[in-house]
A and B are shown apart, each in its own frame.
Chain A
Amino acid sequence: MSITLRIVLIICSVLSFILCIVKVKQSKMQVTDSVIWMIGTIVLVLMSIFNKAVEWIAMKLGFIAPVNFVFLIIIAFLLIQGFLADIRISILNNKVKDLNHYIALEEYDKNRKKK
């Protein structure tokens, strides 16, 4: 990995790490949701610092360039996060639907009693 890429990775990771903390402090994000992103940024920083280790693993796995290995890890992480987010949206969707039904049925009963 080039030194420029390593510096960029570290800076972006630190900024993201801070962003996670800020968002939790602003109550815009749950602690459980932000922790996984913080771990992700820590992994990126570690990979930038210990680039010899990354190069060694990448070589053993047969990557042409170590940077490809870093990108692969980032992509895999994002895919998993995207998939988990989709599952959560589905669950929430269902919960909102149930609430929607609950309100409608309550309203219906109230109207019934009035008549």
Chain B
Amino acid sequence: MKVLIIIPAYNEALNIKKTVKDVTNNTKYDYIVINDCSKDNTKEVCEKNNFNYISLPVNYGLTSAINIGMKYAYNNGYDVAIQFDGDGQHDAKYLKNLVKTIENGQADVAIGSRFAEQRKPFSMRMIGSTLISMCIFLRTGKRLKDTTSGMRAYKREIIKEFLDNPTLTPEPDTMVYLLRKKYKIKEVQVEMREREFGESYLNPIKSIEYMCNMIFSIIFMR
């Protein structure tokens, strides 16, 4: 199976080198870094280290970055595409478990979940995550524990799905869309690290906006 790891990066000059090294050392899959028009020298870092990267001329957000990765994966005949954060929070050694799950035909989408086997800790973030889980359960009857995880592996049919429908985002509401289309989703236990450098994208206002978008999308639109 041809596997592509999509690493979106926005202002991740300090993290990107380690992330790519982690991927290349721990897996034999292809990868592509998507530099979403970073303001820092992410592009130069990629160029200097001779990474396989695409550099977008205009900043367009995570959804667009994943989307161009999907285009690349589809055009180059990959069977599985994995979204993998460029900020060093994800651990590449778990990727083969995700791929294995898809290879065995157990799932069409494999989510790298922090809570597949472990309990959720209690924090603001996790309250949000639980709320989204509840909405997904209400809508589809399926229990997904770590819905907001950014580590997901998609089969080729779903890559096509992403290209055909530009409203799909690499977010939990798309899981609902896929579940309703009878695709199989499975969670695989992974560990994640705290980010070392740089700012997280989510601030309080963005978080509220994100929650509103997700809840409305899950309940009414997907």
Are A100 and B166 within 8 A (Cβ)?
A: no
Are B68 and A101 within 8 A (Cβ)?
A: yes
Are B56 and A104 within 8 A (Cβ)?
A: yes
B67 CB within 8 Å of chain A: yes
| A108 and B68 alpha carbons, distance in the complex (Å) | 12
Complex interface: chain B residues within 8 A of A101 (CB) = 56, 64, 67-68, 71
Number of A-B contacts (CB under 8 A): 35
In chain B, positions 47-87 with a C-beta closer than 8 Å to chain A are: 53-58, 60, 64, 67-68, 71-72
**Residues of B contacting A: mostly:** mixed
A107 CB within 8 Å of chain B: yes
A103 CB within 8 Å of chain B: yes
| A100 and B60 alpha carbons, distance in the complex (Å) | 8
Count of chain B residues near A, Cβ 8 A: 13
Contacting residue for B67 out of A96, A97, A107, CB 8 A = A97
Complex interface: chain A residues within 8 A of B68 (CB) = 100-101, 104-105
Give A79-115 as 1s and 0s: 1 = Cβ < 8 Å from B's Cβ atoms.
0000000000000001011001101110110000000
CB-based nearest A residue for B47: A111
Are B71 and A105 within 8 A (Cβ)?
A: yes
Are B56 and A100 within 8 A (Cβ)?
A: yes
Are B57 and A103 within 8 A (Cβ)?
A: yes
Are B67 and A104 within 8 A (Cβ)?
A: no
Complex interface: chain A residues within 8 A of B57 (CB) = 100, 103-104, 107
Distance (whole angstroms) from the CB of B44 to the closest CB of chain A = 14
| A68 and B50 alpha carbons, distance in the complex (Å) | 67
Give B17-61 as 1s and 0s: 1 = Cβ < 8 Å from A's Cβ atoms.
000000000000000000000000000000000000111111010
CB-based nearest A residue for B50: A115
Complex interface: chain B residues within 8 A of A105 (CB) = 54, 68, 71-72
Are A97 and B64 within 8 A (Cβ)?
A: yes
Are A100 and B55 within 8 A (Cβ)?
A: no
Are B58 and A96 within 8 A (Cβ)?
A: yes
Q: A101-B64, A108-B55 are in contact. List 8 more A-B contacts (CB 8 A).
A: A94-B166, A96-B58, A97-B60, A97-B64, A100-B57, A104-B57, A105-B71, A108-B53
3 shortest interchain CB distances as A-B pairs: A101-B68, A104-B56, A108-B54
Residues of B in contact with A (beta carbons under 8 Å apart): 53-58, 60, 64, 67-68, 71-72, 166
A-B contact pairs, 17 of them (CB 8 A): A94-B166, A96-B58, A97-B64, A100-B56, A100-B57, A100-B58, A100-B60, A101-B68, A101-B71, A103-B57, A104-B56, A104-B57, A105-B71, A105-B72, A107-B54, A108-B53, A108-B55
